[in-house]
Amino acid sequence: MSNVCPSSPEALLTRQASAPVNLLGLTCEQLEAYVQGLGEKAFRGRQLFKWVHQLGATEFQAMTSLAKGLREQLVGLAELRELPILRDHQSADGTRKWLLDAGQGNAIETVYIPEDDRGTLCVSSQAGCTVACGFCSTGHQGFARNLTAAEIIGQVRMANRLLDPSGRRAAVSNVVFMGMGEPLLNYEAVLSAVRILLDDNAYGLSRRKVTVSTSGVVPFIERLAAECPVALAVSLHAPNDALRNRLVPLNKKYPLAELLAACRVYLQSGPRDFITFEYVMLHGVNDSLQHARELIELIAKAKLHCKLNLIPFNPFPASGYRRSSPENVKQFAQALQAAGIVTTVRKTRGDDIDAACGQLAGDIQDRTLIRMRRIDVGSSPSALGSQAL
């Protein structure tokens, strides 16, 4: 097995002899190294980077500031390939969802959520997910593979192009890694994608406008803090380990004490002075006032500045869960707010096209046999939670 980094200049040049290199996933520094390997000066890489991302070029011959010889070389060696669109759905509330072909029978989903002051794109980082939370439609699909940085960035390029064909403005002002998959279990590709999103020669987003969501992969929370801190959202969903073990099986490996300690470390370098905790509201499971009191105690003990985002559960077939009543959600939120915790209730968007939180499923050829294990253990939420990893 080669020990050459897959994104190193040596690896990129080696790949030229076989499959074209998809330039969408290369950072500016990697593109500079790439063109130098072709005998060009580094600044040509920066020009190419701007054409790819700022100007959204779809073919090399259109990049008129590049030397003709370099353009001709690139036609044979490289590509600008986004995942093909299988379906394009638009919700009554303006939310838009694309189903993208990830190859070998797999499909992923990308969702655009327009607001008065911003346009948020929810991108996928994996075809499926191995974390297998029982209340998440993606988790029920199983896992096929990680997406490449090019496939992640391609979702942003595609959305900007389709939402504003004129190219005069970038429709996407915020990017959240809250689509299909656990971003931190595809760390290197997500890190490259984040760096491209932040680059002023590409999308120029601020660190506050890029959010990575995680179910709690502690070692990579710490790495992201050290290498490229952006806004962090943590899928909490329970106030104690016993319940979280059932709802988020990853908690068995990284329990709440370790997770909250990693969050404290993250705040030291993160762009915001708080962590966002996501908490899906499940009827009769985690939505009682006792759960709210436990959550208040947990946060107070952790001495962690945070915001709580309560998410009404979006049902899907075979989940085994029900949505909390509006009254329960209201009482839960009021208890947290009375304790001084900033709390919001997420407005459900795009549920008429299955684009709401927890509904993204795509079409996954499961390589982890998660579905089969669920069949073996039965369909109850408690059984699913204990067998998912």
Q: Which residues have a catalytic role annotated? A: 109, 357
Cβ neighbours of residue 317 under 8 Å, at least 6 residues apart? none
Task: Give the number of other Cβ atoms within 10 Å of residue 286's Cβ.
Answer: 27
Name the residue among 125, 122, 132 with its Cα closest to residue 147.
Answer: 125
What is d(CA 35, CA 42) in angstroms, rounded to the nearest whole number?
7
Name the residue among 100, 198, 195, 189 with its Cα closest to residue 152.
Answer: 189
What is d(CA 378, CA 244) in angstroms, rounded to the nearest whole number?
20
> Are 153 and 196 spatial neighbours (Cβ–Cβ below 8 Å)?
yes
Tokens linked to 184? 């931190």
Tokens linked to 324? 């909390």
What is d(CA 262, CA 282) in angstroms, rounded to the nearest whole number?
26
Tokens linked to 312? 């009404």
Long-range contacts of 385-389 (CB under 8 A, 24+ apart): 385/134, 385/245, 385/246, 385/247, 385/249, 386/245, 386/246, 386/249, 388/131, 388/132, 388/133, 388/134, 388/139, 388/249, 389/130, 389/131, 389/132, 389/249, 389/250, 389/252, 389/253
Look-up of token digits 């948020």: 120
Cβ neighbours of residue 299 under 8 Å, at least 6 residues apart? 306, 341
What is d(CA 344, CA 204) in angstroms, rounded to the nearest whole number?
28
What is d(CA 52, CA 80) in angstroms, rounded to the nearest whole number?
8
Helix (H) or strand (E) holding 193: helix 187-198
Query: C-alpha distances in angstroms, 107 versus 124, 132, 186?
Result: 11, 18, 17
